[in-house]
Amino acid sequence: MQKLAEVCIKRPVFATMLVMAFVVVGAGQLVRLGVDRFRPSTAHRQRARRASGRLHRGGRDQVAQKLEEQINTIQGINELRSISGSGAVIIIVTST
């Protein structure tokens, strides 16, 4: 790393051209990437409030199912996933 810093200090034009080459190559690859990689998505986290602080597996599944039923009524949804953990349900929605 120290050698790279020395080269950049002694030859600033070389360092600038190297960085610009990385920028040009990155921009060229970004154009070729395609739009499907940038699908809009959102995540919703619902915490369960119980006296013990934890929600049993069946309860988490019921919470996730009710939330999925409500969210699934929205038009334009491509993918709907849910993840149940200890005391929380996370729902990930991907749309067009």
Picking from 45, 50, 52, 53, the residue whose alpha carbon sits closest to that of residue 92 is 45
Q: Determine the pLDDT at residue 53.
A: 47
- Is residue 15 over pLDDT 60? yes
DSSP string, 13-57: HHHHHHHHHHHHHHHHHHHHH-GGGG--EEEEEEE---SSS---H
pLDDT tens for residues 42-77? 776 666 565 444 545 556 667 778 888 888 888 888
